[in-house]
C-alpha cells in the first residue's frame, strides 16, 4: 500500500479512518456542554449518513450561552490538534503540533509582480453580464433583501463600502490568499483595487500562469513564494512558484513569518473528499503558529451556506410568511408525500431559528473541514483577533458542478426562491464584505457567536425560504435535471 505523507488522519484499528476521527472530534466538542450529545456521537454506527444530526447538535449546544459556543469551538479544535498526525517523507510519524519543530528545508524567497492597470476606486459588482455601480448596485441590494437572498446587514455593509471608496485602497494590508487559485477568493478584486496579495497555492505551473495573467491586467502587486534561484519571465516564475501546505508546512510558515506588513490570513483552500480535512487542518495549524509568533495577524473565512446556522427571528418570520402563502399544489404535494417533502423551515416563532442546510451528498468530511474553520473564527474573535467570517452564497463553482446531484439541485433551486450565484459575482461580493470588516475591526460587536456568523450573511435565500432545504432538495434535483434536458 502506498504510504500517505504530510498531514494525515490518525490510525484507528489499523486504518486512517475519517469516520472514527469525525465521531471522536464531535464527541469531544460536545462533551463539556452536552454530554448526552457526546455519547450519541460516539455511538453513531453509520457516520457517513448519520453525521447530519450530530453537526446540528453542535450548533444547538452552543446556543446555551456565549461561553458554551466558545467551549464547543475550543474543545473541537483541541481534539483535532491532539489527534491529527504528520508523516514526513523519510521520518517517523509525529503529532500535528510538532511539525513546526522539524526542519523546514530549502527556504522560499519572494518574487513580486506588479500589474499594469489603473487602480479602481469605485466598487462595482459583475452580475448577469453587467457591471453594477452606484444606484444600479443599490437597487440590486434592495432586491436581494426583499427576496430574502441576503441578510439586510449584508446590504448595509456593501453600502458602507460604496460610501467609502477610499476603503478599497488596501496597500496598508497584506492579503494572504491561501488557495490563491480558488474561484471564491478575493485575489482578482484586491488586485483590481491596487492592493497587495500574498498568494499561496500548490506548485503547479498552470495555477501560477493564470494568476500572473490576472495580475498583469490589474494595478495591484502579487507576492508569490518561489524556490531559491527562480528568476526570469512569467514562465520561469510559474515553474518555480508554489508552497505545499499539506506536505511542506514548516517551509510555508517560515516564508509567511518573514513577510513585512500586517497579514490578513484568508482561508480559501479546498480539496476533494478526505483531503479537504487534511488541508484544512494544515491551514489551521499554520494559523495558530502565525498567531503565536506575530501580533498583527487578522483572519478571514468564507463559510458554506450548506451548513447548520442559527438565524435571526426576522429570517424565521420571512420564511413563515412564505409558508403561509404557498399554493395548493405545494400543500397537496406535502400531504401526498406523507410530510416528507416541503415541510416548514422553522417552528413558528423560533428565535433564533435553526437553519439546517447540510447536504448529504457533500459528506461528513466536507462538513468537518468547514466546521473547524467556524470554530477557529469563534475562538480567535473571542481572543480579540480581527476576524472576517462571512456566509457566502450558493455558487456555480467547478467543484459543485462536478457533482451531478448538486449541479442539478442548483439548476432547480430558483423554483424555491434560492438564487445561485456565478463565481465572479460571489467572489467580488465577498471581497467587498472583507473590506468592510477590515475597515471596521471585524464588524459590529455581537453578544453571541451565532450572531457574529449571521452578520452580513449572503446565503442565497436558504435562510428565508419557506421550506427546510433538505425537504425540497430532491424536487430541486428533479426540476434541475428536467431543465438541463430541455
pLDDT in tens, 103-113: 878 999 999 99
Report phi then psi at 2, rounded to 5: -65, 135
In a domain, 365, yes or no: yes
* pLDDT (0 to 100) of residue 90: 79
For the chain, the average pLDDT equals 94
* pLDDT (0 to 100) of residue 428: 98
In a domain, 427, yes or no: yes
Q: Which one, of 477, 472, 475, lies nearest residue 462 by Cα? A: 472
Please report, rounded to a whole number, the percentage of residues in the chain having pLDDT higher than 70. Answer: 96
pLDDT at 92 over 50: yes
Place of cell 451556506: 305
* pLDDT (0 to 100) of residue 403: 81
Q: Mean pLDDT across the stretch 442-457? A: 96
Q: Are residues 295 and 397 in the same domain?
A: yes
In a domain, 104, yes or no: no
In a domain, 127, yes or no: yes
Please report, rounded to a whole number, the percentage of residues in the chain having pLDDT higher than 90. Answer: 84
Cis before 290? omega within 30: no
* pLDDT (0 to 100) of residue 62: 98
Q: Are residues 186 and 221 in the same domain?
A: yes
pLDDT in tens, 172-209: 999 999 999 999 999 999 999 999 999 999 999 999 99
Q: Mean pLDDT across the stretch 26-52? A: 97
pLDDT at 484 over 50: no
Q: Are residues 354 and 431 in the same domain?
A: yes
Q: Among the three residues 99, 117, 144, which one is the final residue of a domain in this structure?
A: 99
* pLDDT (0 to 100) of residue 105: 84
Q: Are residues 70 and 205 in the same domain?
A: no
The residues, any chain, with a CB within 8 Å of residue 111's CB and separated by 6 or more, are 223, 224, 226, 230, 237, 241
In a domain, 325, yes or no: no
Q: Mean pLDDT across the stretch 285-303? A: 97
Q: Mean pLDDT across the stretch 403-411? A: 86
pLDDT in tens, 125-159: 999 999 999 999 999 999 999 999 999 999 999 99
Higher pLDDT, 427 or 338: 427
Q: Are residues 360 and 419 in the same domain?
A: yes
Higher pLDDT, 475 or 81: 81
pLDDT in tens, 459-476: 999 999 999 999 988 888
Q: Are residues 12 and 148 in the same domain?
A: no
Q: Are residues 161 and 215 in the same domain?
A: yes
Q: Are residues 349 and 451 in the same domain?
A: yes
Asked which of 7-11, 102-106, 166-170 is least confident by mean pLDDT, the reply is 102-106
In a domain, 94, yes or no: yes
pLDDT at 98 over 90: yes
Q: Is 220 helix (H, G, I), strand (E, B) or coil?
A: coil
Q: How confident is the model at residue 243 (pLDDT cuts 50, 70, 90)?
A: very high
Q: Which one, of 270, 287, 288, 291, lies nearest residue 279 by Cα? A: 270
pLDDT in tens, 305-318: 999 999 999 999 99
- Please give the grid coordinates belonging to residue 136: 444600479
In a domain, 443, yes or no: yes
In a domain, 33, yes or no: yes
Q: Which helix (H) or strand (E) holds 390?
A: strand 387-391
Total domains present in the chain? 2
Distance of CA 310 to the CA centre of its chain: 17
pLDDT at 407 over 90: no
Q: Are residues 89 and 116 in the same domain?
A: no
* pLDDT (0 to 100) of residue 356: 97
CATH of residue 148:
3.40.50.720
The count of other CB atoms within 10 Å of the CB of residue 34 is: 21
Q: Which residues of 238-269 are buried (b: 16+ CB within 10 A; e: fewer)?
A: bbbbbbbbbbbbbbbbebbeebeebbbbbbbb
* Contacts of 376-379 spanning 24+ positions with Cβ under 8 A: 376/73, 376/77, 376/284, 376/287, 376/299, 376/301, 377/299, 377/301, 377/452, 377/453, 378/69, 378/70, 378/73, 378/449, 378/452, 379/70, 379/73, 379/74, 379/77
Q: Among the three residues 42, 65, 99, which one is the final residue of a domain in this structure?
A: 99
Q: Are residues 117 and 78 in the same domain?
A: no
Cβ-contact 44, 57 below 8 angstroms = no
pLDDT at 483 over 60: no
| pTM summary value | 0.95
Q: Which one, of 100, 95, 82, 89, lies nearest residue 4 by Cα? A: 89
* pLDDT (0 to 100) of residue 355: 98
Beta-bridge partner residues of 337: none
pLDDT in tens, 365-374: 999 999 999 9
Q: Among the three residues 60, 81, 99, which one is the final residue of a domain in this structure?
A: 99
What's the longest Cα–Cα distance across the chain?
A: 70
Higher pLDDT, 450 or 228: 450
Domain housing 467: 109-316+342-484
Q: Are residues 388 and 471 in the same domain?
A: yes
Q: Are residues 126 and 211 in the same domain?
A: yes
The count of other CB atoms within 10 Å of the CB of residue 336 is: 10
Distance of CA 36 to the CA centre of its chain: 29
Amino acid at each position: 500500500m502506498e504510504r500517505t505523507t504530510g498531514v494525515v488522519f490518525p490510525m484507528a484499528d489499523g486504518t486512517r479512518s475519517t469516520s472514527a476521527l469525525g465521531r471522536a472530534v464531535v464527541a469531544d466538542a460536545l462533551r463539556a456542554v452536552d454530554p448526552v450529545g457526546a455519547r450519541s456521537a460516539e455511538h453513531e454506527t453509520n457516520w457517513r449518513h448519520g453525521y447530519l444530526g450530530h453537526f446540528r447538535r453542535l450548533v444547538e449546544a452552543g446556543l446555551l450561552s456565549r461561553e458554551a459556543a466558545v467551549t464547543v469551538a475550543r474543545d473541537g479544535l483541541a481534539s483535532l490538534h491532539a489527534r491529527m498526525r504528520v508523516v514526513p517523507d523519510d521520518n517517523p510519524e509525529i503529532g500535528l503540533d510538532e511539525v513546526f519543530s522539524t526542519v523546514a528545508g530549502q527556504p522560499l524567497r519572494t518574487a513580486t509582480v506588479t500589474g499594469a492597470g489603473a487602480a479602481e476606486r469605485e466598487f462595482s459588482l459583475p452580475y448577469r453580464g453587467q457591471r453594477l455601480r452606484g444606484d444600479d448596485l443599490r437597487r440590486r441590494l434592495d432586491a436581494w433583501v426583499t427576496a430574502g437572498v441576503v441578510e439586510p446587514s449584508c446590504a448595509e455593509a456593501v453600502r458602507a463600502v460604496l460610501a467609502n471608496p477610499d476603503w478599497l485602497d488596501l496597500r496598508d494590508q497584506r492579503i494572504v490568499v491561501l488557495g490563491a487559485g480558488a474561484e471564491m477568493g478575493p485575489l482578482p478584486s484586491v488586485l483590481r483595487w491596487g492592493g497587495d496579495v500574498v498568494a499561496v497555492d500548490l506548485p503547479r505551473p498552470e495555477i501560477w500562469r493564470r494568476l500572473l495573467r490576472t495580475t498583469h491586467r490589474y494595478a495591484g502587486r502579487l507576492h508569490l513564494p518561489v524556490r531559491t534561484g527562480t528568476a526570469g519571465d512569467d514562465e520561469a516564475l510559474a515553474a518555480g512558484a508554489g508552497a505545499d501546505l499539506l506536505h511542506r508546512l514548516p517551509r510555508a510558515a517560515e516564508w509567511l513569518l518573514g513577510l513585512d506588513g500586517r497579514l490578513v490570513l484568508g482561508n480559501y483552500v479546498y480539496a476533494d473528499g478526505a483531503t479537504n480535512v487534511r488541508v484544512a487542518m494544515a491551514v489551521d495549524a499554520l494559523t495558530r503558529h502565525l498567531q503565536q509568533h506575530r501580533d498583527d495577524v487578522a483572519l478571514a473565512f468564507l463559510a458554506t451556506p450548506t451548513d447548520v446556522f442559527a438565524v435571526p427571528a426576522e429570517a424565521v418570520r420571512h420564511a413563515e410568511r412564505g409558508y403561509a402563502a404557498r399554493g395548493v399544489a405545494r400543500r397537496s404535494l406535502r400531504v401526498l408525500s406523507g410530510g416528507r417533502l416541503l415541510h416548514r423551515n422553522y417552528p413558528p416563532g423560533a428565535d433564533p431559528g435553526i437553519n439546517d442546510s447540510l447536504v448529504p451528498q457533500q459528506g461528513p468530511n466536507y462538513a468537518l473541514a468547514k466546521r473547524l474553520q467556524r470554530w477557529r473564527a469563534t475562538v480567535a474573535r473571542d481572543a480579540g483577533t480581527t476576524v472576517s467570517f462571512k456566509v457566502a452564497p450558493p455558487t456555480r463553482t467547478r467543484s459543485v458542478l462536478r457533482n451531478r446531484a448538486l449541479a442539478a439541485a442548483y439548476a432547480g433551486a430558483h423554483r424555491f426562491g434560492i438564487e445561485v450565484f456565478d463565481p465572479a459575482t460571489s467572489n467580488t461580493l465577498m471581497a467587498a464584505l472583507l473590506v468592510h470588516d477590515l475597515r471596521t475591526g471585524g464588524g459590529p460587536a455581537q453578544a453571541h457567536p451565532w450572531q457574529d456568523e449571521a452578520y452580513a450573511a449572503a446565503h442565497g435565500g436558504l435562510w428565508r425560504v419557506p421550506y427546510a432545504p433538505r425537504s425540497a432538495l430532491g424536487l430541486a434535483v428533479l426540476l434541475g435535471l428536467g431543465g438541463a434536458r430541455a
